[in-house]
Amino acid sequence: MSKHLAGALGATFVAAASTGVVLAFAPTAAADTDTGSETTMSAEQRPSEDSVSAESPSSEKDEESVEGEEDSVTPPDDVEVSDDDEVSDDEEVPEDEPVVEPEDDSDPPDVEPDDKAPSTSVIVEAPDHTEAPREQPEEDLVDVVGSVVLAGSARTAEVDAEPPPDADTVVLADPPAPAAEDVGFTGRPSFVASVVTVVLRLVKPVLQLFGIELNGTTARIPFFTDGIPPFFVRARLTVTSEDYEGWKTWTLAPRRPSGKVVVGVHGGSFISTASLFHWSTYASLARRTGATVVVPLYRLANAEGTGGTAKTVVPVMADFIAEQVARHGRDNVSVLGDSAGGSIGLAASQMLVARCGGDPECLAETLPGRLVLLSPALDASASNPNIALVDDPLLSPASSKRNGQWWAKGLETEGDPTGTRHPLASPIYGSLEGLPPTTVYAGSLDLRTPDVLVLQQKAVAAGADVTFRLRNGQIHDWMIFGFLPDARRENANLDADLGL
């Protein structure tokens, strides 16, 4: 028996045992889950492309400097506020008692600003007050990100910058307000998620003894990583396949299609095909929303450079997305990319914007209506120093960097000998201008998150229409693990973010 086969069997045994432990504790998940105080919106309440949600942070230090001046909150001058939202100067709000808005199932009143504000938003815990954002110099982004990662990670280390103040922020659906540089992670992991994290910390070093990394595998394991949707996820779906430019593409259509189409760009650290977790996620999405999910299986990277690379895959993916938009209409097409697929989906969207050169008609005919990135691999160079601050129970920094170099083959230049800083391989170095409304999900126990936080800083600076949903105690790609209560809890957000 070969080394990898033995490792795969060992991994299967451990995974089965781990699943048993997790499922045994599953009934207690609801009692141990804290959803935080996040403000969410239904699909009908989600702002259009011309409206956004954003936040403004503040700190305890700033509260002391303005004590006595925050008895009332004055909206921005350029925002029209209804009478119900006004706060009288004679009214006093107790400092120790947070203001809680009553729950109302009715639609919120439409409030339209005179001038459009930057549209980047960060979904975090609701605050007691608001404060104008501070400007963050671009050269300080890494220090700020490092401080935030420290707050959300189990590993500790020294950094040059002082940790930022606690993120006390508010989410404003209407009117929009600019986001700021300080951001925190919301909620807390469920009991099941915590158990899975512990199990992964135990399993990871054992698998590494057999040369197996949890980043991804090239092994074709039946019903798991063989590139075929398993029969047991196909219930109430019509599953077909066809060829596109040498790629096999799968279509998962519900019995009553809504007319919406989601392009699912799977992850796998650039070396693995779609796994059982991906097929389960796509099938659940199709049944839940009525959307048809199309999954192109792009060519995978390898050490020899004979497989897929960013240089060869991203242009074809851009063509595939543009074809779906031309066939179904921009408002009916969205892109869902996780991990490596998040990198490809973002890079392909950036390429479509560049091809159009700012032509609105071209963008309407080729660019998807929405883009959702789950734990995206934004920087193939893995050079962010704050990666070392994250105690990731799933991913390995060394193999992530190696796979990124394989993916960047053919993009080498004199100034970038590995090619890993080319926007095709690392879309974090590309432009955010012209992109469709984008949502990024990331967890505090993910070594990809430091790059997500850098992307957030760039989005704030550019005023890009990007929303960040950052979660405490979540591992890499937790959103595709349907057995986690934490993933199921995000379904409503995910559906709305995809425009379904």
High-pLDDT (> 90) share of the chain, %: 57
| pLDDT beyond 70 at 176 | no
**Distance, CA of 301 to CA of 408 (rounded, Å):** 9
| pLDDT beyond 60 at 36 | no
**Distance, CA of 44 to CA of 107 (rounded, Å):** 8
Query: In the predicted model, what is the mean pLDDT of the chain?
Result: 75
* CA angle in degrees (0–180, nearest 5) for 462-463-468: 105
**Distance, CA of 446 to CA of 469 (rounded, Å):** 14
Q: List, in order, residues 6 or more apart from 307 with CB less than 8 Å away.
A: 299, 300, 301, 406
High-pLDDT (> 70) share of the chain, %: 63
Give me the residues paired with residue 461 across strands.
Answer: none
- pLDDT: which is higher, 483 or 36: 483
**Distance, CA of 426 to CA of 110 (rounded, Å):** 39
Residues listed for the chain: 500
* Count of Cβ atoms closer than 10 Å to residue 248 Cβ: 15
Do 338 and 481 meet the contact criterion of CB atoms below 8 Å apart? no
- What is the rounded (10 degree) CA torsion for 397, 401, 403, 406? -170
119: pLDDT confidence band, cut at 50, 70 and 90? low
- What are 408's two structure tokens? 């960047």
Longest Cα separation, the chain: 80
- What are 8's two structure tokens? 């795969």
Do 347 and 310 meet the contact criterion of CB atoms below 8 Å apart? yes
Q: Which residues are catalytic?
A: 339, 446, 476
pLDDT digits (tens, 9 = 90+) for 219-246: 888 889 999 999 999 999 999 999 999 9
Average pLDDT (322-329) is 97
**Distance, CA of 460 to CA of 450 (rounded, Å):** 16
What CATH class has 217-497? alpha beta
How many DSSP H helices and E strands does the chain contain?
Answer: 12, 9
pLDDT on residue 207: 85
Q: Catalogue the long-range contacts made by 20-28 (C-beta closer than 8 Å, 24 or more residues apart).
A: 21/195, 21/199, 22/192, 22/195, 22/196, 22/199, 22/483, 23/483, 25/191, 25/192, 25/195, 26/192, 26/483, 26/485, 28/191
Average pLDDT (92-110) is 46
Residue whose pair of structure tokens reads 């799968």 in the numeric block = 250
User: Which DSSP symbol is given to 186?
Assistant: B
| pLDDT beyond 50 at 18 | no
pLDDT on residue 422: 96
* CA angle in degrees (0–180, nearest 5) for 413-417-419: 70
436: pLDDT confidence band, cut at 50, 70 and 90? very high
Do 367 and 352 meet the contact criterion of CB atoms below 8 Å apart? yes
| pLDDT beyond 80 at 158 | no
Q: Is the previous residue joined to 175 through a cis bond, with omega within 30 degrees of 0? A: yes
- pLDDT: which is higher, 370 or 41: 370
Q: List, in order, residues 6 or more apart from 101 with CB less than 8 Å away.
A: none
**Distance, CA of 417 to CA of 414 (rounded, Å):** 6
Least confident interval from 215-219, 242-246, 378-382: 215-219
The model's pTM is 0.68
**Distance, CA of 26 to CA of 86 (rounded, Å):** 45
Do 254 and 275 meet the contact criterion of CB atoms below 8 Å apart? no
| pLDDT beyond 60 at 162 | no
Do 57 and 182 meet the contact criterion of CB atoms below 8 Å apart? yes
Q: Which of 345, 448, 445, 306 is nearest to 387 (CA)?
A: 448
Least confident interval from 164-173, 214-223, 326-335: 164-173
pLDDT on residue 214: 80
**Distance, CA of 154 to CA of 469 (rounded, Å):** 19
**Distance, CA of 56 to CA of 69 (rounded, Å):** 17
pLDDT on residue 384: 94
Average pLDDT (373-380) is 97
- For the chain, what is the radius of gyration of the CA atoms? 23
* CA angle in degrees (0–180, nearest 5) for 435-439-443: 135
**Distance, CA of 193 to CA of 411 (rounded, Å):** 39
